[in-house]
Each structure stands twice: as C-alpha cells, then as structure tokens.
A and B are shown apart, each in its own frame.
Chain A
Amino acid sequence: MNRPEELKYIRLVRFDRTYLQPSIEEYSRTFRGSPAEYEPYRLAGAASGLERYFLAQLLEGYFWLALGIALDLFPEEAAQLLVRQRFALVFPELPAFLRSWGYVFDPELTDLIMTAISQKEFFVKVSLGEFEYPVKMAPSFQSACLMETRFSRDLDGRALVTALNFYYDDLQRVFTRVHKFDERVFNDLENRLDFPSGSIVRGFLKLLEHMSSFGFFLEHLVEDTSIELRDRQLLQRRIKQLCGRRVRWGQTQAYVPLNAMAEHLHLFVPHDVRKYLNAGSLKSEITRLLHTWREDVSKDQDIGSTSHG
C-alpha cells in the first residue's frame, strides 16, 4: 500500500475514534444500557432529547464521512464497512427520526440519507458536486472537522444544541413568560431536561466562540487562492451544510432565544465582576456576531436558490 493510501486509513480510524465511536457509545450507553445507571435522565424525561441529540450527531458523522470520501481523504471500501458497523443499530430508527426532526439538517443531506435507507445501502453514490482538485483541501477539511469534533464534545454545547434543536418551544416559552429575564426560569428548564444548572447559558457562550471561529474559518477558506474558486465555494457550502444545525441559527427561529440570551447574559456574571462590565457593549458585541451570521445565511440562501451545488 502506498503512503497516500495509508494516510486515508489513518484518517478514517481516527475520525471513527474521535467522532463516530464516542457518539454511538453515548447513544447506546445512555439509552440502551443499564437503566439504573441512567435513571436520572429517564426520570427527568430528558432521555428523548439527548437521544435525538446523539442521533443527530451520528448523522452528522455520516455526512462528514460522505464529504471525506468525495474529497478522496477516506478509503471508500473501508468507510462502507465502518458505516455498516456503526450505523446498523440506528439505521432503522432514522426514518422516524427524520420525519420529526429532519429540519435540523440541510434538505440535501436528508435526501442523501433517505436514499441510502430506501436502497438499503449504507453508502450510495449521490452527486453532491465533484471537486476538481480534492487533495488540496485536505488541511481545510481536517481543520473544520477538528473544530466540529471539539464543539461536539462540549457538554454545555450539547445542552444548548439539544434545547434549541429539540425543545425550542420550551426555550421560547422562557422568554415569553417573563417580562424581565429571570435566571430561575432558565434553571427550571435545565432541571426539566436534566442538564446541569447554568449549562444552557454556558453552552451559549461556547456557541458564540464556535460561531466566531467558524466564521474566521469560512472567511479565510474563500480567500485561499491556491484552491480553484469552484472547489473553494463547494467546500464552503458543504461544510456549512454539515454544521448547519449548530451555527446557522441566526436565520432560523432560534435567533429569538439567542438574541434574548445576549440581552440578559450579563446577569449571569458574578456580582463582584459585574461592576467591571459594560453590559451595553457586551450585548452589542454578541448581537453583532449573531447578526453577522443572520446576514451570512440569508446570502447563502440567495446563492443556494440560484445554484445548487
């Protein structure tokens, strides 16, 4: 086997170990493991929320694999075996999951997995656009994947993603029920979903950092003149699609709770520190970031409606 082939196998093994395997293990352990061990989740009624979170995470892993194959960075035959191993349990559950929660993914990706399910093939060749010089994009793909893997491991980030993606109504109610922001109302929601106190707000901060890093990444990906323009745009589009459920909330309904959190975030800062804070500038910085994404996504949708990958 030549060296480039070896590198493909190494990438695949490591992607599995850091992304897919932990996701499937969390999914299986939490909801198919010992009931006694995970009783708190069940009692709090949060099991279904986390179950959805991990299923969505697994699906995202599947799409990363598909992109890695399109970029010729993963060995296709081995990826087939890997998917068969990791997804055998969850494939039958996916149609029901996607019927209810498919909106968290880009429609193109949902189509991809539904085609795979209907054809009873773990991987199907579906044209999502071909890269002209895929090998040049290995560092960018790797960097984006690293960024996403790190965010997916963050427990607070999980709390926010779960609440926003799957408990949006509850989150929204928090803001409509109170005229003045009340930390206790937030804590009630967290208790109900069995997240540790403060995790949704901490997750929000984590998300802001992630949005900032992700924006930096995308902005500079487009500037990379060493890659063909078409390839750059296609990679940018694919990566945005993949990470959509995390970072493209600016445009979606989730903008409302995120913006409301920005409004009141300073209340979570300890009192002795709050005197140093300029709450106005803090809020404006955060809303600026949210707005940037909102505008960015609008732009993408305009582009997407005229040219589709």
Chain B
Amino acid sequence: MGHHLVAEIPGFEDSYGLISEDPATAIAIVFVHGFWGDSYSTWQDTQILVDEFGQIFPLFTESDLFFLEYDAARNFIGPSADKLHHFVDRLFPNPPASLFSEDVSAADWGSELHVGPVSIRTGPYVYNSLILVGHSLGAVVVRQMILDVATDFSEACSIAPDKKQEFLAQRPVLLADLRLMSPAHLGFRPVGLLGAAFSLAPMAGLLRGLLSFYRSFTELDPNSALLQSLRRRTEEISRSFPGLPALCAKSLFAQYDDLVIMDRYDCDRRVQYVADRTHTTICKPLRMYLTPLEFIAEYGQTYEQARRA
C-alpha cells in the first residue's frame, strides 16, 4: 500500500497537502471546500481511503492531493477565487521542494543524528496534470478562478490571435479537469429555508457561517449578478475557445439535494447523480460509498489513455 504524507503549504495556514511516495507522481489534485466546510471535514475520509484503495484507483497513488482552507462564509466569492488562484499558482506545475523533503540535521534536535536531507520521493517535482475538485460554494470559487484566468487569456488572444498556444502555455490552469460535487454554480435553493438546513450536519458550521453574516451566502442567490455573470461569461468564452478543458466541468449531484439548483452550464459535460446522499455527505467517501473517489479517478482513465498514446 503506497502512502501519502502530510505536508504544510507555505503561506496557506490550515491548508495541507498529502504527498505520494510514488516516484511516478505527476498529477496535482486540489480540493476546495464549500460554505460550511473546511479542508479536513468536507473531504473526510478521503485522506485515508486514497491509500487504502490505491490499487483500485491508481490515479491517487500517482497524485499529490492539496486541500485548500479559506474563509468561505466570511469572504465574498471574488477574494476566495483569488486565494485559490494563488494557491494553485504556488503548487502547479512546479511545487515548492519543501513539500517533498526535510533536512533532519537542520532541526535543533537533529544534529547528533548525522542524518542529512530525506525525501518522500525522488524528484524532479513537476506536475503535468491538474484536477480541481470543488464542493458546493467551493465549486463556484473554482469556476470563478477559472473564469478570471480565461478572461485574461481571451483578452490576450484577441490582441495577438497567433500566440494562442503560447498564452495557453502561460496559463496551464486552463487545461485543468474540473470535478464539481453538488456545485452551487446555479445558486442556493434551501428547501424550507434555513430551518431545514439544520437537519444537515454539520450544524455548527452553518451557525458559524450565520455568525459571520453570510457574505458569500448572499452571492449564492440564483439571481445574484455574480452567478449570472459567471455562467454567461463562462459559456461565452467556451464558445470562443471550444474544448478548453477547464471550462467544461463535470458535476455530481445528490439525487435529492435540498440546497442547490441541480443543473449544468451549456459547456459542461454530462451530469451524474448519486442516490442516498445529501448535499453534505456527497463528497465524503466511505468504504461502502466510493463514488467521490470514482468520480475523480474517472479522469485517470482518460489520462492513462493519453499517456499511452
């Protein structure tokens, strides 16, 4: 069983990485939690099951996983997307070497040991693929970040259309694969108002959100200017640059999701539904519910085919 080891991400407190010991690792997967979540509990037990089921889902064995922590409720979506952009920029395609190695002798207790630098795996440390996974509001943050980069790309191409490939190479995030779980990209639709939401765990997270005056919550209204613009502009740019992977998200919804409107953008791929899950449990894999891992690992098949080709 291959293992992932925890790594701190410099400059991003409470975010963390799980670094694979497999030297063939070339994929970075970034997880972005939603309104009531955090970088641990939203994705709980992904941290364990990617190792336990590494043989069934080899994609994870060859991937480093990064879990972003951000103040989802207190911030507006724009600043959260900006933080995600910095986070991804820090990691992809060239992650900092500190994620992979430690110099034991540099520790104040390590000099007697005569142990030099040790590493999780051998370098070079470069990723050639990126998967962005977002849950609920996190999916909106992912899409907003992609739209910001795509807008920039589109403007550059309009000035110098012949440099499209060059511009794209400068913005590798646009080649990312987007996997969204119960995305709130069409808005929040709580059935029975917030009272009903209290039947969903974690209720304390919701309260925390309420206590912080739910800034991003107001932006999740289906009629909010932000959500409408996000959809319109994403679809427009996708029409101008058909096939740009990061604009064509794939979504997974809980069959009876009481909190978000379930649909996709015109440029997106087919939507998938899963039974017996709620808005908050859809992204938490269990030994009897491996759908979240399957949903992400599906990319692995395409990746493997491309690599073989």
Contacts and interface: CB of A to CB of B under 8 A. Distances in A.
Contact of A213 (B7, B14, B44): B44
Contact of B14 (A13, A145, A150, A276): A150
Given A138-B3, A142-B5, A270 B102 contact: no
B110 interface: yes
Contact of A147 (B40, B201, B213): B40
Contact of B107 (A7, A16, A202, A270): A16
B6 A14 contact: yes
Given A78-B110, A78-B115, A270 B45 contact: no
Interface in B225-240: none
Contacts of B40: 146-147, 150, 213
9 contacts: A1-B115, A14-B8, A78-B110, A202-B211, A212-B201, A265-B207, A270-B210, A273-B213, A282-B203
A300 B234 CA distance: 54
A196 to B, nearest CB: 14
Nearest to B108: A85
B3 A286 contact: no
Contacts of B104: 9, 13, 78
B5 A11 contact: yes
A139 B48 contact: yes
B300 interface: no
B118 A10 contact: yes
A220 B286 contact: yes
Interface residues of B, number: 51
A278 B193 CA distance: 10
Given A17-B8, A77-B113, A285-B203, A269 B211 contact: yes
Contacts of A281: 195, 198-199
Given A150-B14, A213-B40, A224-B52, A208 B109 contact: no
A18 B8 contact: yes
Given A1-B115, A217-B45, A276-B194, A81 B110 contact: yes
A236 interface: no
* Interface range on chain A (Cβ under 8 Å from partner): 35 or more
A283 to B, nearest CB: 10
B242 interface: no
Could you say which of A16, A18, A85, A278 has the most chain B C-beta atoms within 10 Å of its C-beta?
A: A278
Nearest to B1: A136
B47 A143 contact: yes
A267 to B, nearest CB: 12
> A interface, by DSSP: helix, strand, loop or mixed?
helix
Contact of A10 (B16, B45, B102, B202): B102
Interface string A146-163: 110010010000000000
| 8 nearest A-B residue pairs (beta carbon) | A85-B109, A208-B204, A6-B118, A278-B195, A276-B194, A13-B102, A139-B48, A205-B204
B52 A205 contact: no
A295 interface: no
B113 A139 contact: no
Interface in B1-46: 1, 3-8, 14, 16, 21, 38, 40-41, 44-45
B285 to A, nearest CB: 10
Given A11-B5, A281-B195, A208 B115 contact: no
B222 interface: no
B272 interface: no
A103 interface: no
B287 interface: yes
B212 to A, nearest CB: 10
Nearest to A225: B287
A151 to B, nearest CB: 9
B94 interface: no
Nearest to B200: A285
A102 B112 CA distance: 33
Given A3-B21, A138-B51, 8 more contacts: A10-B119, A16-B109, A77-B113, A150-B40, A205-B208, A213-B44, A217-B44, A278-B195
